[in-house]
Amino acid sequence: MAVNKLSKLKNDFLEDLEITKGRSLKTVENYDRYLSSFLKFIKISEPEKITDDMIHNFRLWLNRQPGSNNGYLKKNTQNYYLIAIRAFLKFLAKKNIKSLAPERIELAKTSGRQLDLITPEELEALLNAPDDNSEKTLRDKAILELLFSTGLRVSELCSLNCNSFNLQTDEFSVRGKGNKVRVVFLSEMAQKALTNYLAKRSNIDSEALFVNLNKGGQAKRLSARSVERIVKYYAIKAGISAKVTPHVIRHLYATDLLRNGADIRAVQIMLGHSDVSTTQIYTHVTDKQLRETYKKFHGINRKRQ
């Protein structure tokens, strides 16, 4: 039986993703699924036989696949397949294996990602919603302040241990997606909230920073779902009608930095984004500043009629 060269190269690519690129097993599984669908569709075994027509026909097939709400596959979902194919072709090019040029893969046009944000006043109300000195409330206050101070993903927050940082300094390292380490910073409010929480924290036999205080016996590390429930509870308590999640607070962290003049490349690093294009979804917040700059500096020497 003839060896399917493309299948073997796909496996080599997936191993490279996991080992060299440090991608998570979930990401590798997703890329495997996307590429397997593509290879099954084109029905060839040699990389040099991949053509523009094959890509075109595969995109047509994707566009006609059933999706959610009795509709078709969303453009964003279709792009996941195309991104995987493009990454695979880049891998082949790097290995000097003849195939279709990766830049031939163009992503589907999307309507643009919308950010779910709340107003600065609502944010302040959310952060002030935990308003007593019980251990649970101080824990929740620390969670909210830490999320806004650092822009941590909820998974990163949940993985923190009591020895993850030194409260005498205003920065610490966190390991994020792709096993990459980055530095995040603590505001004075976050430092104060953490100090108050740790001072009140019971002598719990757990290295986890944030634990579930409602269950008897051994305390368990808070799950991402538990943190989501905590954020939702205080959003309702603060009278916020919009849906608020830990990821919304991460959005607010990024937009607050940009509104106050932070460079997008710096924000990219602080968020732990591997590609600045991911960070660019936040640049809409500078629209007002751009308008003010335009009015201030454009055509100032022209005589008014």
CATH assignment of the domain containing 89: 1.10.150
Annotation marks residue 273 as catalytic: yes
Which structural domain range is residue 83 located in? Answer: 5-104
Give me the catalytic one of 139, 141, 201, 273.
273
222 and 262 assigned to the same domain? yes
pLDDT of res. 195: 94
pLDDT at 288: 56
Q: Number of structural domains, the chain?
A: 2
Residue 153 designated active-site: yes
Residues 124 and 88 in one domain: no
Residue 97, classed as helix, strand or coil, is coil
Q: Please name the residue ranges forming H helices in the chain.
A: 5-19, 25-42, 52-63, 75-94, 120-128, 135-150, 154-158, 188-200, 224-237, 246-259, 264-271, 276-279, 287-297
Can you give the pLDDT at residue 262? 82
pLDDT computed for residue 296 by the predictor: 64
> How far is residue 189's CA from residue 126's CA, in Å, rounded to a whole number?
14
Cα–Cα dist 281/275, whole Å: 12
**298 part of the active site:** no
Q: How far apart are CA 278 and CA 240, in angstroms?
A: 27
Give the phi and the psi of residue 243 in degrees, each rounded to 5. -70, 125
pLDDT at position 301 is 61
Token pair listed for 219: 């305390």
Do 139 and 210 touch, CB atoms closer than 8 A?
Answer: yes
Active-site choice (31, 197, 253, 282): 282
Tokens of 66: 């059933």
Which of these, 61, 278, 24, 64, lies nearest to 176 by C-alpha position? 24
Confidence (pLDDT) at 294: 58
Distance CA 248, CA 31 (A): 27
Catalytic residue among 153, 197, 201, 253: 153
Which of 76, 104, 132 corresponds to the end of one domain? 104
Q: Confirm whether 143 is domain-assigned.
A: yes
From CA 276, how far away is CA 214, in angstroms rounded? 41
Assess whether 39 and 180 both reside in one domain: no
Q: Which of 74, 247, 259, 284 is catalytic?
A: 247
Sign of CA dihedral 130, 132, 138, 142: positive
What pLDDT shows up at residue 1? Answer: 34
Is 284 designated active site? no
The reported pLDDT for the residue numbered 267 is 85
Residues in the chain with pLDDT values less than 50:
1-2, 304-305
- The pLDDT, as a whole number, for residue 166 is 84
Assigned domain for 138 exists: yes
Query: Are residues 253 and 139 both part of a single domain?
Result: yes
Please give the pLDDT value at position 2: 43
Query: What are the C-alpha distances in Å from 72 to residues 52, 111, 112?
Result: 23, 15, 18
Among 177, 182, 220, 221, the active-site one is: 177
Residue 281 has a CB neighbour count (10 Å cut-off) of 16
pLDDT tens track for 256-288: 888 788 888 888 888 888 777 777 767 665 555
Same domain flag for 141 and 266: yes
Q: Cβ atoms within 10 A of the Cβ of 284, count?
A: 14
Q: Is residue 14 part of a domain?
A: yes
Catalytic residue status for 251: no
User: Would you say residue 203 lies in a domain?
Assistant: yes
- The one-character DSSP state at 213 is -
Active site residue 282: yes
